[in-house]
Chains A and B, each alone.
Chain A
């Protein structure tokens, strides 16, 4: 465990020495941003809209006390979405999609000697391949989380009003009450940290793949599992420290 962590730190450090030209890294970062960000919009939209809808319906189902105003449903959907569901669930979904893709891609490059080919050319393969992925993830995750927040709250609105659980006015009143702007900042900080964890852990797993196709699969699985565990641990630590 300690050895693996030490190797991980050395891997991180190796990205920062002998860096390629900024123009090259920037172009690679843009390419990765498309793969990590734009290509994930669909899955993030579907997941977040349904999570918002289901959250709203289930809160409405549980709030049967006539003394509690219906606008509380909107308030709870907003708080759950911003503080937890949007950043954490989105990052877990992305750990599955992006993490496995990063580990699988790098693992395949490793076993087909493409990484060695870069090294022989005198290119720092860690810097060229991994650094843009991490930077792109840290740029795109917050944007995807903002999208998830909007869609999740919209999903709650549609589910709540269409099912007749509450009126549109009550929902809007709920999501506007007692709003704390810091919560948005907290969610974005979380998303940046999760982005780093997912991309760095997945890159590490893929970069050091040895063997053949089976090992690439194992690296992808390991990347997703470890990323999710890291997200949950970091989620707790950040909540304890920042709230």
Chain B
């Protein structure tokens, strides 16, 4: 479990995170939802240690990460796997070498054969068992995301962070990546945090959703509860999705009922 307590961050006096307190639960897909510029990426960077919060604390399973000793921070970091928005694969390495890299660096006690077995297992798990010899420049965006996931899970990570895993992908590939993240989270009982503004991801994998708006947490709940929200900003965000609007329209025509569709306010967005 990751606990974020009163995290604040400003840039040049401009507050981006205004005292965020939230919890990311173990074994669940925790979604950080929000529009552009709401502070999702900044919060994620604070959590993984790429940025230092001005105030507040972040705790990983009881171990305080912020302002702790370097050794403890390192211990926590080595349990973190991260899928970056642009995949961040090392250009000079093959898919196999990219996946093997964290094992080589973090687990020197592993033999070459053990590493090879682990990499082959991870690549197979993400459906890329035949792509090991390819360079990142030779594979598609979706495959790069898969390699990113394989690299993240290779050292048996306890926490998986995904920064907009669907960005730049077609809808079908997005769904596959979402499904992969969801399966891996539940299969290995890891704490997964996914940044997204994609409503498809919300309804597909949102075990626990935290909605950020203007640097503040406005709402949290799960994918079943989100459509019944009474928070106006969240309603506006949800119904700005053309897919949700279309679904709502079909629902109304068939006299079904998205619960949230009863709101006139939402219809007018």
Residues of A within 8 A of B (CB): 17-18, 20-21, 24, 108, 112-114, 116-117, 119-123
Q: Which residues of A contact B82 (CB under 8 A)?
A: 117, 120
A121 to B84, CA, bound (A): 12
A121–B88 CB distance below 8 A: no
How distant is the Cα of A172 from the Cα of B48 in the complex, in angstroms? Answer: 65
The residues of A that contact B84 with a CB separation of less than 8 Å are 113, 116-117
Is B223 engaged at the interface, CB distance under 8 Å to the other chain? no
| Chain B min CB distance to A167 (Å) | 52
B131-175 vs A, CB cutoff 8 Å, 1 = contact: the mask equals: 000000000000000000000000000000100000000000000
Q: Which of B78, B88, B102, B104 contacts A116 (CB 8 A)?
A: B88
Question: Contacts A18-B70, A18-B74, A116-B50 hold; do A122 and B86 have CB atoms under 8 A apart?
Answer: no
Query: Out of A24, A114, A120, which one reaches B48, CB within 8 Å?
Result: A120
Q: Is B13 an interface residue (CB 8 A)?
A: no
- A226–B91 alpha-carbon span in the complex (Å): 27
Minimum CB–CB distance from B44 to chain A (whole Å) comes to 10
Q: Which residue of B lies closest to A121 (CB)?
A: B102
Pick the 6 closest A-B CB pairs, nearest first: A122-B77, A113-B88, A117-B88, A122-B78, A113-B84, A120-B82
Binary interface encoding of chain B residues 63-76 relative to chain A, with 1 for a CB under 8 A from any of its CBs, else 0 = 00000001000100
- Do the beta carbons of B88 and A119 come within 8 Å of each other? no
In the complex, A119→B105 CA distance in Å?
A: 12
Contact of A112 with B86 in the complex, beta carbons under 8 Å: yes
| A120 engages B49 (CB within 8 Å) | yes
The residues of B with any CB-CB pair to A shorter than 8 Å are 48-50, 70, 74, 77-78, 80, 82, 84-86, 88-91, 102, 104-106, 108, 161
Give the residue name and chain of the A residue nearest to B161 (CB). Answer: A120
Q: Find the B residue at minimum CB distance from A119.
A: B50
Residue of B with least CB distance to A21? B108
**Chain B hits for A120, CB < 8 A:** 48-50, 77, 80, 82, 161
Q: Closest CB of chain B to A239's CB: distance in Å?
A: 39
Shortest Cβ distance from A192 into chain B, in angstroms?
27
Decide if B108 touches A122 in the complex (CB within 8 Å): no
Kindly name the residue among A18, A24, A108, A113 whose own CB sees the greatest number of chain B CB atoms within 10 A. A113
A89 to B: closest C-beta gap in Å = 30
With A20-B105, A114-B88 in contact, do A121 and B78 touch (Cβ < 8 Å)? yes
Known: A113-B85, A114-B90. A121 touches B108 (CB 8 A): no
B49: A residues at CB distance < 8 A: 119-120
Residues of A contacting B102 in the complex (Cβ-Cβ under 8 angstroms): 121
List 17 A–B pairs whose Cβ atoms lie within 8 Å, in order of A's numbering. Answer: A18-B74, A20-B105, A112-B86, A112-B88, A113-B86, A114-B88, A114-B90, A116-B88, A117-B88, A119-B77, A120-B48, A120-B77, A121-B102, A121-B106, A122-B74, A122-B78, A122-B80
Q: Chain B residues near A21 (CB, 8 Å)?
A: 108
- Chain B neighbourhood of A116, CB < 8 A: 50, 84, 88
A46 to chain B, nearest CB (A): 27
A3–B95 CA distance with the chains assembled, in angstroms: 40
Residue of B nearest to A115 (CB): B88
Besides A120-B49, A120-B50, 10 new A-B residue pairs in contact (Cβ under 8 A), listed by A number: A21-B108, A112-B88, A114-B89, A114-B90, A117-B82, A117-B84, A120-B48, A120-B82, A121-B78, A121-B105
B104 CB contacts on chain A under 8 angstroms: 24
How many whole Å from B145's CB to the nearest CB in chain A? Answer: 13
Complex CA gap A112/B104 in Å reads 22
User: Please, which residues of chain A bring their CB within 8 A of the CB of B80?
Assistant: 120-122
Question: CA–CA, A119 to B74, complex, Å?
Answer: 10
Among A17, A21, A123: residue with most chain B CB under 10 A:
A123
A113 to B48, CA, bound (A): 14
Residue on A nearest B83 in the bound complex, by CB? A117
The minimal Cβ–Cβ distance linking A120 to chain B, given in whole angstroms, is 5
Instruction: Specify which chain A residues have a CB less than 8 angstroms from the CB of B90 in the assembled complex.
Output: 114, 117
CB distance from B110 to the nearest CB of A (A): 13
